[in-house]
Structure 1
Amino acid sequence: MASDRQIAANRRNALKSTGPRGAGGKARAAGNSKKHGLASNLGRDAIAFAAADRLADAIFQVHGGLSRAAARRVAVAAIELKGIQKVRAAAMEAVMFAKKSSTLSERFEGLLLNLKTIDRYEVRAISKKKRALRGT
């Protein structure tokens, strides 16, 4: 359990961490989720939405213990994972190309950072899928 002193320190630090304040910083931050499309909502993509529905129906038929809603969550997570794998493959190709070219060392560092970001999305999608399979 956190002490009163730790709680006070956390609150002081939280006041400092407010994100970008200027118009330029806010505009950059707003575009971050659009960089690779991994943070997008499947409901806005009609093709992915239809694919999720078909997959959810198949999952529901195979796994009798899952509700339709849980089967839908599993399907959405599976489609997200497939998209993440495509983005990862493209990022890996870019990293390998940049590694071969010694003049692109700064770009190489950015590409590696991009791979770490992709990992975070992948972990989130795997967790969503596991939770849906458990029915929670």
Structure 2
Amino acid sequence: NRIIDVYPEHQQQQIRTQLANNLVGVISQTLIPRKDGTGRIAVMEILNVTDAIAAMIRDNKIHLIQSAIQTGKQQGMMSLDQELARLTAKNIINEVDALEKCQDKQEYYRFLVQFGGAPSGGMNTTVS
């Protein structure tokens, strides 16, 4: 929405359409200290713009994109929380650092359990 909001309201739909038609993907990353102290590791979120994602952008349904990323593994997508949980479960990063960077703690814990990790945080880690 930040890109769209730069434009006057009467141009925003046109910009959404252009963005939906031209955007190929988005990669964002953050650096997290490695648990063994040997430096940092890049943790990425990857969005590949499929027809469904393009429609979400065009129709201003941006709020649906995060769940599309979470279910888009076959299209090469992964959410930041998924990758943080995977790296925590593999004992590459520690949970405290992962929790500082995650977007949704409940989702992080759900993914952590899926990847075979055990939550050690002090908060309610009940997942369904």
- What's the TM-score once normalised by structure 1's chain length? 0.30
Bigger helix fraction: 1
Larger radius of gyration: 1
- What's the TM-score once normalised by structure 2's chain length? 0.31
Higher RCO (Cα < 8 Å, 6 or more apart): 1
